[in-house]
Amino acid sequence: MARMHTRKKGKSRSHRDRYTAKPTWIKASGDEIVDNIVQLKNSKLTSSEVGIRLRDQYAIPSTKLVLGKKLNKILEEKKLKPEIPDDLQSLITRYKKVSAHLALNTRDKSNERGRTLVMAKILRLIKYYRRTNVLPAGWNLDKVL
C-alpha cells in the first residue's frame, strides 16, 4: 500500500502476536492492572505511552486480552480520557514544532511543505472525529493552536 503524501511504498516491520486467550505468564490480577493504568495516566503520560509502559515494564501485551476492554475504554470509565485524542494531539505538537522552526528559518521550503501536509492530516482527522462524535460539533482548532 502506498504512503499518503509520497509515491513510496510502506516499510515492513514486526507485528504483534495474535493471541486469542490471556497469556499464561501474566500473574497480575485485573484490579492490579487497572490500578497501574490509573497510576501511569495520573503521571501525565499519554494513552499510547501507558500502553508501551504496560508492555515493556509489566509484560502485559494487550489490555483487551487480559481485561476484555481496550485501554481507552478503561480510561473513559475512570474519567481520565483526554479531551483531544492522542493521535490528533501528537500531530498538533508536530505542527507547532515545524512552525517554530519555520519562524527561525524562513527559506526552508521543504519544511514549509511538511507543515502543509501535517495540517492536511490534522484537518482530515478533525473531520473524522466530528463525524464519529469523538469531538463535539463546535470544536475548533484555533483554541489549541
How confident is the model at residue 2, as a pLDDT? Answer: 66
Between 17 and 116, residue with greater pLDDT: 116
The alpha carbon dihedral of 72, 77, 79, 80 has a sign of negative
Which set of grid coordinates corresponds to residue 23? 497469556
Chain centroid to Cα 34, Å, comes to: 19
> What's the average model confidence in pLDDT over 27-37?
93
**pTM, entire model:** 0.82
> What's the average model confidence in pLDDT over 64-68?
91
How confident is the model at residue 21, as a pLDDT? Answer: 85
How confident is the model at residue 3, as a pLDDT? Answer: 75
Q: Are 126 and 88 in contact (CB under 8 A)?
A: yes
- Which of 3-7, 28-32, 64-68 shows the lowest mean pLDDT across its residues? 3-7
> What's the average model confidence in pLDDT over 49-71?
92
Quick one: pLDDT band at residue 6, thresholds 50, 70, 90? confident
Judged against a pLDDT cut of 70, whether residue 45 lies above it is answered with yes
> What's the average model confidence in pLDDT over 90-107?
96
Judged against a pLDDT cut of 90, whether residue 17 lies above it is answered with no
Judged against a pLDDT cut of 70, whether residue 29 lies above it is answered with yes
Coil, helix or strand at residue 2: strand
